Amino acid sequence: MKLKKAKTMILAMFVVNSFSIYAAQTPSMQQGVWQTKGYGYLFDFSGSDVTIYETTSLSCIKSGLTAGQLNTAGTWTFPVTIPGFINANMYAVPGDAPNSLVLHRSDTSTYMQANKISSLPSQCTKSMSSAPTVVSRVFVANFNEQYAYAKEKVAFLPKHTRVDSMTPHELFVHLTQLVKPLKDPHIALVAPSVEGYYFGNDLLASDSENVDIASIRTTLSNIYGKDIKLHSRLQEKIVFAKLTANQSYLAIRSFTGFAREDSWNTEELLLRNTLDEVFREIGTSSHLVLDIRNNEGGSDNLALLMASYFTDKPYLAYNKQAVSVEKEIYGWTQPSKVRVEPNPSFAFRGQLSVLVNRATVSAGETFVMALLGRSPAITIFGQATAGHFSDMLPRTLPNGWLFALPNERYTDENSASYAISGIQPNIIINNTDSNDALLSAATTNADKP
pLDDT value for 231: 96
| Res 372: pLDDT | 97
Query: What string of H, E and C letters represents the secondary structure of 140-186?
Result: HHHHHHHCCCCCCCHHHCCCCCCCCCCCHHHHHHHHHHHHHHHCCCC
Q: What's the rounded Cα separation, in Å, for the pair 106 and 64?
A: 17
Distance, in Å, from the CA atom of 180 to the CA atom of 12, rounded to the nearest integer, reads 40
Would you say 13 and 269 are in contact if contact means Cβ atoms under 8 Å apart?
no
CATH 3.90.226.10 for domain 208-387+422-447: yes
Kindly give the confidence (pLDDT) of every residue in the chain, 449 residues in length, as a single tens digit, with 9 standing for 90 and above: 443 333 333 333 334 344 444 443 334 467 999 999 999 999 999 999 999 999 999 999 999 999 999 999 888 999 999 998 899 999 999 998 888 999 999 989 999 999 999 999 999 999 999 999 999 999 999 998 999 987 766 545 555 568 889 999 999 999 999 999 888 999 999 999 999 999 987 766 556 677 888 989 999 999 999 999 999 999 999 999 999 999 999 999 999 988 876 566 788 999 999 999 999 999 899 999 999 999 999 999 999 999 999 999 999 999 999 999 876 678 999 999 999 999 988 999 999 999 999 999 999 999 999 999 999 999 999 999 999 998 999 999 999 999 999 999 999 999 999 999 999 999 999 876 556 888 999 998 775 43
Q: pLDDT value at position 74?
A: 85
Phi, psi dihedral angles at 17 (to 5 degrees)? -65, -40
Ranges assigned E (strand) in 259-407? 287-291, 315-326, 329-332, 336-340, 351-356, 379-382, 392-396, 402-406
Task: Determine the pLDDT at residue 449.
Answer: 39
Whole-model pTM above 0.95? no
Q: Which amino acid, one-letter code, is at 208?
A: S
280-290 burial code (b ≥16 CB/10 A, e <16): eebbebebbbb
Distance from C-alpha of 290 to C-alpha of 251, rounded to nearest angstrom = 6
Give residue 362's pLDDT: 94
Each domain of the chain, given as residue ranges in start order, spans 9-125, 208-387+422-447
Tell me the C-alpha distance between 385 and 6, whole Å.
22
pLDDT at 134: 96
Sign of CA dihedral 119, 122, 125, 129: negative
What distance in Å separates the CA atoms of residue 25 and residue 95, rounded to the nearest whole number?
8
